[in-house]
Structure 1
């Protein structure tokens, strides 16, 4: 590309350890996020394809990465991609670098036949010119269910390599947590998010073969972030098996598989989920992307 003679545009460079470390440095500098945590968790998403500008010293100046993120939307399989790791060093902003990597990433997604592209951002207006629109997410709040059946549970530890391996195997064979809107596969981000959440609890319900990702707030609210497994237990069975008596429940995804309903409350957080695709891909019912799948 012309206009940036001192910079080089590179794509699909994850096989180059120097370039990968340069991207990690960019994300650490801009967002304070250490993505090298993934090295201990089995490595980055193998479907990831980055697009970035580098200077002559191999410093990563601007980047965005595409990755495969198959979704269930309205009960139907959707071959979708996600975009993440979008960043530009402050001294290089305003030069069209971000636009060029975005266009390259979207051209790649189109050439690969992805039906939809998703991203999370706190600057939604930045992405609207590229055909993205904002999706309103909801959390589901209500009283704790009763009458559940207790099952044996085992606490998993993200510091244990054996537990991480076990969790990775479950995630690869999981059922989508909702038919309204949910990832079919999001292994690496689940593990990464779990490693960044010190108060998160991961309990494996042996009978159901499902891991419950949760925590309890100071006011006694049970926060359910995700359920990963081939079967999804009812919320009543989850509460009974965990042997807790929460004052109320907040589910951070559509609870259509939990045999429980709660009041839907629109999310007022800074991060906005955006989608680019055919109009018919818009979720028909209230939903939220599980926090463990956030990217």
Structure 2
């Protein structure tokens, strides 16, 4: 193993993106399409992520990416480093390449951030580097909502009007929770949510990341300059809803009888390195902000 440094630059090397995604598709099939969706929506992977890549004979064999995310944690704005898209080609695993890249990433990040986060289904890969699993919760509310108006329409992000609307609200949004929330972030949001349905209520000037399963509403994020009560969200859904499952701390939704349960989202756990003031609280990092 040579002693080359691993930090790369998409701006300096235009061919770097293709080499990287050739690697990432092996570990994360379909990620190239999600990244392309983000580019089309106006927030490119290449502009947001700092790549650390180990090359062997011109081929990218191991990568760790760093993206900067503005969080709100316990009501305080904190700039956090997000570790993402960690991948090594199968034939080069268990040879020290990932460790070498990660050690340089941590040396880089420790100069910039007091807190690093990542989400993963394989926490054992990160425990040796000082990351720890932080427990998360989902929140459930029982209700009997029939809705009185059809107040949510699905955004069409192929139109300039709806795309401008989404950019405006992402730029001006308040955190969905003051326990753990995110503001003024686009690239991670677009990768996670850009290919999923997004719904807009004009009178609330709010975008909801939500899904309805039979009589259950799954609420993943709200992008707005004001977080409205849950009752205002429900009244604009013209069908019977008997349970709401919320994937973020719901203290701003002004609703009662909320039950919290330990849980995960998409089979991933949240891992943290460094300070994290909300560690003992009941919360979940929204799906839209997970990297």
TM-score, normalization by structure 2:
0.89
- Asked if structure 1 preserves the Cα contact closer than 8 Å seen for 2:142 and 2:242, the reply is yes
In 1, Cα distance between equivalents of 2:108 and 2:207: 34
Q: CA deviation at 1:154?
A: 3.7
**Given the superposition, is the C-alpha separation of residues 47 and 191 from structure 1 closer, same or farther in structure 2, using an over 3 Å criterion?**
closer
| Structure 2, unpaired ranges of 5+ | none
Residue 266 of structure 1: aligned partner? 262
In 1, Cα distance between equivalents of 2:193 and 2:157: 7
In 2, Cα distance between equivalents of 1:191 and 1:164: 11
Q: CA deviation at 1:255?
A: 0.5
Residue 127 of structure 2: aligned partner? 128
Residue 27 of structure 2: aligned partner? 30
- Asked if structure 2 preserves the Cα contact closer than 8 Å seen for 1:239 and 1:245, the reply is no
In 1, Cα distance between equivalents of 2:278 and 2:2: 38
- Asked if structure 2 preserves the Cα contact closer than 8 Å seen for 1:148 and 1:237, the reply is no
**Given the superposition, is the C-alpha separation of residues 234 and 109 from structure 1 closer, same or farther in structure 2, using an over 3 Å criterion?**
same
Please say which of residues 151-160 and 136-145 is displaced more in the overlay.
151-160
In 1, Cα distance between equivalents of 2:38 and 2:232: 32
- Asked if structure 1 preserves the Cα contact closer than 8 Å seen for 2:55 and 2:62, the reply is yes
Residue 188 of structure 1: aligned partner? 187
Please say which of residues 83-92 and 254-263 is displaced more in the overlay.
254-263
SS in structure 2 at match of 1:242: coil
- Asked if structure 2 preserves the Cα contact closer than 8 Å seen for 1:73 and 1:283, the reply is no
In 2, Cα distance between equivalents of 1:248 and 1:105: 43
Residue 63 of structure 2: aligned partner? 63
In 2, Cα distance between equivalents of 1:160 and 1:105: 38
Please say which of residues 151-160 and 41-50 is displaced more in the overlay.
151-160
Q: CA deviation at 1:153?
A: 4.2
Residue 140 of structure 2: aligned partner? 141
The answer to whether 1:73 aligns with 2:81 is no
- Asked if structure 1 preserves the Cα contact closer than 8 Å seen for 2:146 and 2:241, the reply is no
| Structure 1, unpaired ranges of 5+ | none
Please say which of residues 281-290 and 8-17 is displaced more in the overlay.
8-17
Q: CA deviation at 1:152?
A: 4.9
Q: Which of 215, 232, 240 is 1:237 aligned to?
A: 232
**Given the superposition, is the C-alpha separation of residues 184 and 145 from structure 1 closer, same or farther in structure 2, using an over 3 Å criterion?**
farther
TM-score, normalization by structure 1:
0.88
- Aligned-residue CA RMSD (Å): 2.3
Q: CA deviation at 1:167?
A: 0.7
Q: How many residues are paired up?
A: 284
In 2, Cα distance between equivalents of 1:283 and 1:27: 31
**Given the superposition, is the C-alpha separation of residues 62 and 9 from structure 1 closer, same or farther in structure 2, using an over 3 Å criterion?**
farther
In 2, Cα distance between equivalents of 1:162 and 1:79: 30
Q: CA deviation at 1:149?
A: 8.8
Q: Which of 194, 206, 212 is 1:210 aligned to?
A: 206
In 1, Cα distance between equivalents of 2:263 and 2:151: 33
Over residues 88-139 of structure 1, what are the superposed CA-to-partner deviations in whole Å (9 max), with x where a residue is unaligned?
0001111211111111111111122x12000111111221221111111111
In 1, Cα distance between equivalents of 2:147 and 2:252: 15
SS in structure 2 at match of 1:40: helix
**Given the superposition, is the C-alpha separation of residues 215 and 246 from structure 1 closer, same or farther in structure 2, using an over 3 Å criterion?**
same
**Given the superposition, is the C-alpha separation of residues 203 and 37 from structure 1 closer, same or farther in structure 2, using an over 3 Å criterion?**
closer
Over residues 130-164 of structure 1, what are the superposed CA-to-partner deviations in whole Å (9 max), with x where a residue is unaligned?
11111111111121376989695443123435423
Over residues 155-205 of structure 1, what are the superposed CA-to-partner deviations in whole Å (9 max), with x where a residue is unaligned?
3123435423321221111100001111223312222222343xx3x2222
**Given the superposition, is the C-alpha separation of residues 146 and 245 from structure 1 closer, same or farther in structure 2, using an over 3 Å criterion?**
closer
